[in-house]
């Protein structure tokens, strides 16, 4: 034990450690403050927090879980991108290879289960926020940021669902995107769309309606795959990451985790 202590002190006081973390072991209040303030990641937190807000029984740790799962998805997703090509010739065989050839290949599993878990975690987080009345002033705006994050989480999951390009994928996306056909005024089978005419010519048809814009064609095909890939790997994660930054910032600016006044 004594030896371990000595080793710990040796490490913490070494030049390498100090160059990275500045403070040594945070064993005084001063050092605890500095440990949080001095770190880009930790200073997302305030230096001090309400005791009631730290309790797992209050927050269920679901916001943190959502964020952690988002990070898991980012890392595993990045690894999957090394193997995967978003074209209809390669997509399915690439996933097949990943499944059969990659040693210790659990990245695809982790990515898929992480995605399911993230949807559930975000719902439970919203549920907790509602049950504690934490959307009430001054946190109305942050609740709204949260709702957009929820939508982005679902879209992330939805766009990712297509990428394996198997039967499960294309038919789920077919069912999901068929609904866009019925958009009032903007889908070719939507109410009122038939009224939008130039002379006798319908302006809204299967070749230019809301569904066409979503999947880039009259049916799920190569351009859908590419479109969903770009949305899934670039556009939505960037938007979600940006909104998360705002979300966390606002949690602090609105007075930290909520508690009774």
Partner 1 sequence: MTFIKDFINVLSAASISFVLLSSVFAFIVYFNLFDGKLKSKIGGGFIGFGALLIVAGLFIKPLLYLGITYFLIMFVLAHLGGRLWDHKTGLWMLILGGGFFALSMLDGNFYLIAAKPDNVPIAAMIFLLGFFTWVALRKAYLNDRQMLAGGIPWEKTESDEKLFTWPDLVYTEMLCMIILTIVMIIWSVALRAPLEEAANPTSSPNPAKAPWYFLGLQEMLVYFDPWLAGVVLPTLIIVGLMAIPYIDTNPRGNGYYSFRERKWELGIFLYGFLVLWSFLIITGTFLRGPNWNFFGPYEYWDPNKLVPLVNVDLSEIIWVKMLGMPLPKLWVIREMFGIIFVLGYLGLPPLLAIGPFRRFYQKMGPPRYYVGTFLFLFMMSLPIKMVLRWLFNLKYIVHIQEIFFNV
Near ligand HEM in 23-62, by CB under 6 A: 59, 62
Residue in this structure with the two tokens 């969903």, named with its chain if needed: 228
Q: How far is CA 94 from CA 73, 156, 158, in A?
A: 19, 21, 20
Shortest Cβ distance from residue 14 to partner 1 (Å)? 21
Q: Judge residue 89's burial from the number of C-beta atoms within 10 Å of its C-beta, 0-12 exposed, 13-18 middle, 19 or more buried.
A: exposed
Shortest Cβ distance from residue 149 to ligand HEM (Å)? 4
Question: How many residues contact ligand HEM, by CB under 6 A?
Answer: 26
* 164 lies in the site for partner 1, by CB under 8 A: yes
Q: Judge residue 192's burial from the number of C-beta atoms within 10 Å of its C-beta, 0-12 exposed, 13-18 middle, 19 or more buried.
A: exposed
User: Out of 10, 54, 64, 93, which residue is the one contacting ligand HEM (CB under 6 A)?
Assistant: 64
Residue partners of 189: CB distance under 8 A and separation at least 6: 181, 182
Span from 181-189, 199-207, 232-240, 241-249 in contact with partner 1 (CB under 8 A): 181-189
Long-range contacts of 5-9 (CB under 8 A, 24+ apart): none
Span from 7-15, 133-141, 201-209, 228-236 in contact with partner 1 (CB under 8 A): 133-141
Write each residue from 116 to 155 as x if it is in contact with ligand HEM (CB under 6 A), else as -, in one continuous string: ------x--xx--x----xx---x--xx--xx-xx--x--
User: Out of 7, 11, 12, 54, which residue is the one contacting partner 1 (CB under 8 A)?
Assistant: 54
The terminus-to-terminus CA distance of the chain in angstroms comes to 46
- Which value, to the nearest 10 degrees, does the dihedral of the CA atoms of residues 37, 38, 39, 44 take? 20
User: Out of 70, 161, 212, 228, which residue is the one contacting partner 1 (CB under 8 A)?
Assistant: 161
Q: Which is nearer to ligand HEM, 37 or 150 (CB)?
A: 150
Which of 170, 158, 161, 148 shows the shortest CA–CA distance to 222?
170
- Residue 51: how many other CB atoms lie within 10 Å: 9
* 258 lies in the site for ligand HEM, by CB under 6 A: yes
Write each residue from 82 to 121 as x if it is in contact with partner 1 (CB under 8 A), else as -, in one continuous string: ------x---x--xx--x------x-xxxxxxx-xx-xx-
Near partner 1 in 13-42, by CB under 8 A: 26, 29, 32-33, 35-36, 42
Under a CB-based contact definition with an 8 Å cutoff, are residues 145 and 246 in contact? Answer: yes
Q: Which two tokens mark 94?
A: 């690439």
* 139 lies in the site for partner 1, by CB under 8 A: yes
Near ligand HEM in 148-167, by CB under 6 A: 149-150, 153
Chain residues binding ligand HEM by CB under 6 A are 59, 62-64, 66-67, 70, 122, 125-126, 129, 134-135, 139, 142-143, 146-147, 149-150, 153, 244, 247, 251, 257-258
């Amino acid at each position: 034990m004594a030896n371990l202590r000595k080793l710990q002190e040796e490490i913490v006081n070494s030049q390498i450690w100090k160059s990275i973390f500045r403070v040594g072991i945070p064993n005084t209040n001063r050092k605890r403050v500095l440990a949080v303030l001095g770190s880009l990641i930790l200073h997302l937190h305030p230096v001090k927090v309400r005791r009631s807000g730290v309790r797992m029984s209050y927050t269920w740790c679901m916001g943190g879980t959502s964020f952690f799962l988002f990070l898991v998805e980012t890392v595993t997703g990045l690894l999957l991108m090394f193997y995967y090509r978003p074209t209809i010739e390669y997509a399915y065989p690439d996933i097949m290879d990943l499944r059969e050839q990659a040693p210790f290949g659990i990245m695809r599993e982790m990515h898929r289960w992480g995605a399911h878990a993230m949807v559930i975690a975000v719902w439970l987080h919203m549920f907790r926020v509602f049950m504690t009345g934490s959307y009430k002033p001054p946190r109305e705006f942050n609740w709204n940021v949260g709702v957009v994050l929820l939508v982005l989480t679902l879209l992330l999951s939805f766009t990712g669902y297509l990428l394996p390009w198997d039967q499960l994928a294309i038919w789920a996306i077919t069912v999901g995107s068929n609904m866009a056909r019925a958009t009032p005024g903007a889908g070719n089978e939507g109410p009122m769309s038939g009224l939008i005419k130039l002379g006798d010519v319908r302006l809204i048809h299967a070749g230019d309606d809301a569904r066409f814009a979503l999947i880039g064609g009259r049916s799920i095909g190569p351009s859908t795959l590419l479109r969903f890939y770009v949305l899934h790997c670039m556009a939505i994660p960037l938007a979600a990451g940006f909104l998360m930054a705002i979300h966390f910032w606002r949690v602090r600016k609105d007075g930290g985790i909520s508690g009774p006044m």
